[in-house]
């Protein structure tokens, strides 16, 4: 009679974590950075149709790195959650913090109970209204949630990107052009190539806008920002 195969819970979780990390490492990087007029999101993404950055609600955006179909499912679920909450209560009740907590619970539950974890790392960001501060939350493959300040990165080469930013000023008072140039310089440093504007997906949450603050920046405007 064959003995049942046993794996300790600690080893099982370690194996899941290693599996998820390898999947995420294959994905291209995303940088979120505060600047004087809001929050900038820059993704290394040569695809014009498969978006890594998306609007979620009036002042909230989503960015996902890792396995596309998995973070796309999370993105759509988050939008439905936000729309339903805003409809049932009020638009002010929809916040990045509540969405990040919901994502944390969902991803953490899958990591704990399912045989295969999600190979994703996501950002949920909200631009402050008036004098309110911006909010940047990073949710990892195991459901852990980190409240970031100034700059946050997800995806492959994230550790190298953080090392790059540690040696440079990321003051939230910098201009959009300076924040964009610094983000591109960071992505160039980890890809070992000069990324063209056409190979980037870039969006901003603009603090001064009323209602919907999300705006995608076309490559023509990115060239202007780089040369300014």
| C-alpha–C-alpha distance, residues 224 and 228, integer Å | 6
Where do the domains of the chain lie, and which CATH numbers do they carry?
27-227 (3.60.20.10)
Question: Going by C-beta distance under 8 Å and a sequence separation of 6 or more, which residues neighbour residue 34?
Answer: 40, 134, 136, 149, 150, 151, 170, 172, 179
The stretch 87-106 carries a mean pLDDT of: 95
The stretch 99-127 carries a mean pLDDT of: 97
Question: Going by C-beta distance under 8 Å and a sequence separation of 6 or more, which residues neighbour residue 205?
Answer: 38, 39, 41, 59, 60, 61, 125, 126, 127, 213, 214, 215
Q: Note whether 174 and 36 are within 8 A (CB).
A: yes
pLDDT, tens digit, 9 for 90 and up, residues 42-74: 999 999 889 999 999 999 999 999 999 999 999
What mean pLDDT is reported for the chain?
93
Q: Note whether 140 and 148 are within 8 A (CB).
A: no
pLDDT, tens digit, 9 for 90 and up, residues 114-126: 999 999 999 999 9
Asked if the model's pLDDT at residue 103 lies above 90, the reply is yes
Give the number of residues written for the chain.
Answer: 228
| C-alpha–C-alpha distance, residues 188 and 186, integer Å | 5
- pTM exceeds cut of 0.85: yes
The stretch 110-136 carries a mean pLDDT of: 95
């Amino acid at each position: 009679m064959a003995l049942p195969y046993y794996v300790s819970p600690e080893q099982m979780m370690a194996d899941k974590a290693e599996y998820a990390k390898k999947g995420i490492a294959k994905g291209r990087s995303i940088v979120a950075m505060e600047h004087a007029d809001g929050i900038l999101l820059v993704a290394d993404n040569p695809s014009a149709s498969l978006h890594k950055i998306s609007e979620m609600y009036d002042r909230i955006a989503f960015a996902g790195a890792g396995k596309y179909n998995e973070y796309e499912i999370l993105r759509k679920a988050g939008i439905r959650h936000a729309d339903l909450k805003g409809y049932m209560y009020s638009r002010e009740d929809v916040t990045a913090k509540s969405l990040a907590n919901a994502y944390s619970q969902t991803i953490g539950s899958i990591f704990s109970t399912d045989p295969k974890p999600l190979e994703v790392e996501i950002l949920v960001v909200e631009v402050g209204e008036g004098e309110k501060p911006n909010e940047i939350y990073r949710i990892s493959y195991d459901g852990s949630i980190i409240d970031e300040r100034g700059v946050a990165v997800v995806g492959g080469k994230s550790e190298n990107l953080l090392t790059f930013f540690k040696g440079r000023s990321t003051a939230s008072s910098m201009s959009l052009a300076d924040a964009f140039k610094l983000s591109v310089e960071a992505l160039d440093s980890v890809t070992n190539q000069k990324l063209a504007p056409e190979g980037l997906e870039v969006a901003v949450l603009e603090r001064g806008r009323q209602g919907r603050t999300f705006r995608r920046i076309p490559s023509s405007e990115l060239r202007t920002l780089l040369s300014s």
